Structure 1
Amino acid sequence: MSIGIVPSPTGRVIGYARVSTKAQKLDLQHDALRRAGCERVFDDHGVSGAKARRPGLDQALYCLRAGDVLVIYKLDRLGRSVEHLAALLREFHARGIHLCSLSEGINTQTIGGKLVFHVFSAVAEFQRDLIRENTLAGLQAAAQRGKRPGRPKRLSAQQVREARRAIHLKGESYAIAAARYGVAPSTVWRAVTG
């Protein structure tokens, strides 16, 4: 086995491989995972890493138990983002599962691998904080310019007053009022009753 993949006495070495398109082949990853001693390999063929649901990964995660080692060819085969990868590493840590990435030489059974786990967690937290900070700054800047967040209103205040008058005083239907303004009847209903 490469880079010291040694499961606990009760653990197994499980592999996971993924390619993004149907035209790509899994052979390179499968060969490397078998050389690493994986007794079982799950895979996703033609599934983007950006997808939240990946059947092969879901099966691998379900199959893993404490003491097992999940082996991947490269980190980008597992996580959609640094945050997703950090979340998976936290889940593995909580469940007593180790991760080994062959290309990067990362193995969470080692001191260096544990350091990588903590670095990924810190980077993911930093990334979340940056996004939150930038979002709040953007909302504040928009508010100072008099802008409101969210989708722009489909009907102006004047159009809402006209529709309310036509519906309540003249008995016009929501559908007729909506057709006049080129919007859906539900839009008029929300504006008039809201």
Structure 2
Amino acid sequence: MDNFNNLQSHTNFFSILLVLIAICLFYYVVKNYKTINSQLKLILIIIIIAIPFKIYDTIGNDNQIQSLVKNFDVTNGKVIKHIRGKGKAISYIEFKYYVNNIKIVKQYDDTYYSSFPVEKPNFNSDYLVIYEKGNPNNSLILLNYELKDKNDLEKYKIEFQKKIPENAFNH
């Protein structure tokens, strides 16, 4: 229970909502098992089975962000690929950065923690990357922190030493 209390509020809400949906679906399937057609029955059972996996994935993402925020450093990185979904479609980004002269390529989709701007990022510019010190693969590129000149990285390192700014992850 302590682990559940340590999660972000949106993760708790989302997990509780999914559990309630699973309970309602399970109740519906059990109550109407003989009257609903087999295709709908199969779809509902698949959804009920998939819900715990989605909750596990959401909690895992939350734990990664918590670890990142507790022990982080910043560096510069470049966007390699950016695909912007239309409307509410998921967006995707791939970027590269170096930590201790080791090249790391990371990709992820639009999440609660790091939303992407509407316009495409400048592929020729560097952006601030925040990564976990003990696990450099746990990282996010911050597209709202473009490094326009050499001094920007040092300026942001000083700014992030005090505290991660509120607008760092979301635009």
- TM-score over 0.5 (shorter chain): no
Select the structure of larger CA radius of gyration: 1
Q: Which has the higher helix share?
A: 1
Q: Given the two structures, how large is their TM-score scaled by the length of structure 2?
A: 0.27
